[in-house]
Amino acid sequence: MDFRYILFAFSLVLFAPFLRAQKSYNALVYEGNKKFDSKDYTDAAAKYSEAITVKSGSYAAHYNLGNALYKSKKYEEAAAEYQKASRLTKSKYEKAAAIYNQGNVLMQSNQPQKAAELYKQALKQDPYNEAIRKNYEIAMLKDKEKKENQKQDSKKGKGEGKDSKDQNQSGKGNQNKDQQNGQGDKNKGESQGKPDQPKKQENKIPEEAEKSILRDIENRERETARRILNKRANSMPQSNEKDW
């Protein structure tokens, strides 16, 4: 038997599992891509995950899994896959794409400042990529807007606190003023001294004459009362009967 044929056959035996694994990996990624295109992101993620079990060091599988998770709004998990993908490639364009998508995750999480930093890193890898540059500018504007809103909210909060403090001080001032007015009225009343004495009557009747008048009145009242009693005693009751 030809030695070269034996060596080739031996090589096939050795590399057969590797070739089957490679075929399986490619098939899984392909199936994942089909699911992704049909917007079945859950099944796509499952296929990419299977591909990673076959070939854990694959940039494409991790990157595509990140995309499927991103579309499913699983942003933290997506960011983790993009980070892995960026470490698994030496291509600056692939690295730029993975970092760029990390920035997109942060934009979805309302972290424009951190997103801008990642876009800047991606631009260093791919400086002529207009999509990355555009998102970088948008992130910078969003960050500026966010900071201005926070500043306004902070001023508004301080203003409301100041108004509340001023109202409290105003109320306290009014209360002190009322207390001062009350104390002033009190002091004013005390400063008036003793109540005014009643005025003395002028041309007062002599005491003896006053007693004489009182005795005369009393006598007249007694005489009137006696006459009334006598009149009642001598009168006859009237009758409603006829006198035949």
- The more confident residue out of 8 and 76 is 76
What is the rounded average pLDDT of the residues 12-39? 75
Q: Using H for helix, E for strand and C for coil, what is the string for 176-234?
A: HHHHHHHHHHHHHHHHCCCCCCCCCCCCCCCHHHHHHHHHHHHHHHHHHHHHHHHHHHH
Which pLDDT does position 93 carry in this prediction?
A: 96
Which pLDDT does position 169 carry in this prediction?
A: 59
Which pLDDT does position 28 carry in this prediction?
A: 94
Which pLDDT does position 63 carry in this prediction?
A: 97
Considering the entire predicted model, what is its pTM?
0.58
- The more confident residue out of 63 and 235 is 63
Between the alpha carbon of residue 20 and those of residues 17, 50, 54, 62, 125, the distances in Å are 5, 14, 10, 20, 35
Side chain identity, residue 243: D
pLDDT at 117 over 50: yes
Between the alpha carbon of residue 175 and those of residues 14, 168, 186, the distances in Å are 97, 10, 16
Domain ranges of the chain: 19-78, 89-158
Confidence of residue 22 (pLDDT cuts 50, 70, 90): low
Confidence of residue 238 (pLDDT cuts 50, 70, 90): very low
pLDDT at 70 over 80: yes
Quick: pLDDT tens for 141-169.
999 999 999 988 888 877 666 665 556 55
CA distance 136 to 111: 12
CA distance 231 to 47: 135
CA distance 115 to 166: 42
Q: How many CB atoms lie within 10 A of CB 72?
A: 14
**CATH fold for domain 19-78:** 1.25.40
- The more confident residue out of 57 and 187 is 57
Secondary structure letter of residue 88 according to DSSP: S
Quick: pLDDT tens for 172-208.
555 554 444 443 333 333 333 333 333 333 344 556 6
